[in-house]
Structure 1
């Protein structure tokens, strides 16, 4: 994920007001201009975005702030991509739409996985400094708030996980309906039943009104990304479906395979190198989840069989997947 800028909506001021937190003091602590919100939506680099959330955490000095943010969220403080997603038929559809447009408003990519049992939304942050814990916790709280606003029901996640989980607290556990657990990824899971509850806010005509502008903005953002980054993002979507060929990825990016290779060569890399690097990082992340059998990891990485995955992993690390997992030698796992 390349360094980019992300929109911080003026509705943030209303949210801070509702929380009883001084916007001016947060901006001063974050070393941002005092009149930051004076002229509508503002954009922040990843560093500034993180600083804002660190300053908010420091100013509030409240271990339950993420839960309070979740309770304070309302349609009035949602920015256009989120408001548009609230027009969806259900949480599953909203999650898929938000995942597509999230890079416009926050330095994170979302993976959305849905099956007969549950809906899981996993966060992948950019390489470099780790995101502030308050930001991660607030992003997790957002999903419970969205589900409740859309369905007008008290929907609770079945699992909430963070890489830097806070100390358990009664208020936060009450908000989520479950403790935030320490894990190797930041993720929130809802039952398939809750993810399919109809949103009473559904308005397809409103979504059709917002979608073209969001797609235009997303196209501008993607145009600033390197070809290698675009290939990694496409692989993230296609590998679990068993597709790893350059033809499939080039087709998704609306390029010919030859043009794709030429653009990658201009960035001093090639398709096979990007594919291998993406698979290695995903493999480390998947293997850190001990509930996933190695055969399932191989499948998620689009290998034809488990032996092919074993050979590739040994080539990357000098270890078998089982040896790496048993020796906890997975600390190099990074977001793709």
Structure 2
């Protein structure tokens, strides 16, 4: 399993001050009482509320990029320190993915797709859309680690965003690459060869001390719950198809019968997990993109749009369009939440709207 709470570091107040923010005002805007913060950690909704407050009080839509890129070595958590001193960029991302779950319920995925590699971040206990500033900070931090480690910028092939920000120019300038909007998920896409770039910051002596301690902590966490494993795998597999339980079992390196038994022991089932992933993905696509219900139905593997409409009404008690109008009036950050649409396209495993 992963850590379920996010620590409030001793340096948090100083970082707020460096950003021109009053920590007390941030916590008050987030609706957090002193009693909550004195615990020293936050759950996922509280953590998201803090980031919403940071965005609102700063008035800076790009503050996530600032936070992610301006984090100094002294502020790096153990996972980032281990990543920075790895042998290659690929090793760094692997360590970041392995050790990040020690400090928060966030999953980092590096998925090779032919000549490309996709880096993405996922909050596994979130019941709401991840604040844009958190996603921006995560990508900016990974970009900064790559630059510090290699001694030069490792330029991504492209940045994929679900949303359409008012301008993509700041993102293109920050990452030095093409920016695609209206995608099925947020990701930094690299040439797979970039994973082999050596790090000049490689320090095997430091890793020899740090890694065993981190590995011991990971082992102490135990195995990730089967339901979370299944949800993560289904999310990866869902790209215009309905992954079967047999396909899911192969992804998890177990027999279909074992998967059914373990899910049953956990009080759930393949269908329940599939429905949960479909609903979560549908919410994100409705809120973050202008995909039509028919396009979302295709992405989620429904045979026809009407089947998706019926399922969504069963889950949410309203149609997808009603949900979008009620819950996401500012889709894509534009008044009215609409933009001119092009035909549905798929690229590197992600759906996007062609320009």
**In 1: Cα distance, 2:17 partner to 2:50 partner:** 16
**In 2: Cα distance, 1:35 partner to 1:283 partner:** 34
User: Which stretch of the first structure deviates more once superposed, 136-145 or 151-160?
Assistant: 151-160
Determine if contact 1:168/1:180 at 8 Å carries over to the other structure.
Answer: no
Give the Å deviation of 1:92.
Answer: 1.4
**In 2: Cα distance, 1:145 partner to 1:137 partner:** 12
Pairs within 5 Å for 1:302-313: none
**In 1: Cα distance, 2:178 partner to 2:248 partner:** 41
Post-superposition Cα deviations, 1:252-303, rounded to whole Å, max 9, x if no partner, equal xxxx987765443233445x54786699789999xx9xxxxxxxxxxxxxxx
**In 2: Cα distance, 1:170 partner to 1:202 partner:** 33
Determine if contact 1:122/1:188 at 8 Å carries over to the other structure.
Answer: yes
Aligned to 1:77: 75
Please state whether the residue corresponding to 1:131 is helix, strand or coil: coil
Determine if contact 2:55/2:133 at 8 Å carries over to the other structure.
Answer: yes
Aligned to 1:111: 109
**In 1: Cα distance, 2:271 partner to 2:213 partner:** 34
Pairs within 5 Å for 1:79-94: 79-94=77-92
Q: Normalization by structure 1: what TM-score?
A: 0.68
Post-superposition Cα deviations, 1:31-71, rounded to whole Å, max 9, x if no partner, equal 335598889xx322110110111111112111222232233
Give the gaps of 5 or more residues in structure 1: 289-311, 320-325
Distance 1:250 1:146, change over 3 A: same
Determine if contact 1:18/1:72 at 8 Å carries over to the other structure.
Answer: no
Give the Å deviation of 1:113.
Answer: 1.9
Pairs within 5 Å for 1:31-42: 31-33=31-33, 42=40
Aligned to 1:122: 120
**In 2: Cα distance, 1:262 partner to 1:189 partner:** 37
Determine if contact 1:113/1:120 at 8 Å carries over to the other structure.
Answer: yes
Distance 1:35 1:159, change over 3 A: farther
Give the Å deviation of 1:160.
Answer: 1.2
Aligned to 1:323: none
Pairs within 5 Å for 1:87-166: 87-114=85-112, 117-126=115-124, 128-166=127-165
Post-superposition Cα deviations, 1:62-106, rounded to whole Å, max 9, x if no partner, equal 122223223312211111111111121122111122122333334
Please state whether the residue corresponding to 2:108 is helix, strand or coil: strand
User: Which stretch of the first structure deviates more once superposed, 22-31 or 230-239?
Assistant: 230-239
Distance 1:179 1:138, change over 3 A: farther
User: Which stretch of the first structure deviates more once superposed, 26-35 or 152-161?
Assistant: 26-35
Distance 1:226 1:23, change over 3 A: same
Please state whether the residue corresponding to 1:109 is helix, strand or coil: strand
**In 2: Cα distance, 1:162 partner to 1:239 partner:** 18
Determine if contact 2:3/2:102 at 8 Å carries over to the other structure.
Answer: no
Give the gaps of 5 or more residues in structure 2: 240-245, 287-300, 309-341, 345-349, 351-355
User: Which stretch of the first structure deviates more once superposed, 46-55 or 205-214?
Assistant: 205-214
Please state whether the residue corresponding to 2:25 is helix, strand or coil: helix
Determine if contact 1:159/1:189 at 8 Å carries over to the other structure.
Answer: yes
Post-superposition Cα deviations, 1:150-173, rounded to whole Å, max 9, x if no partner, equal 112133322112222422165443
Determine if contact 1:157/1:177 at 8 Å carries over to the other structure.
Answer: yes
Note if 1:189 corresponds to 2:155.
no
**In 2: Cα distance, 1:216 partner to 1:104 partner:** 11
Instruction: Give the total of aligned pairs.
Output: 292
Distance 1:235 1:37, change over 3 A: same
Please state whether the residue corresponding to 2:101 is helix, strand or coil: helix
RMSD: 4.4
Please state whether the residue corresponding to 1:190 is helix, strand or coil: strand
Determine if contact 2:227/2:273 at 8 Å carries over to the other structure.
Answer: no
Note if 1:56 corresponds to 2:34.
no
Please state whether the residue corresponding to 2:160 is helix, strand or coil: strand
Give the Å deviation of 1:116.
Answer: 6.3
Give the Å deviation of 1:16.
Answer: 3.2
Determine if contact 1:15/1:77 at 8 Å carries over to the other structure.
Answer: no
**In 2: Cα distance, 1:71 partner to 1:171 partner:** 13
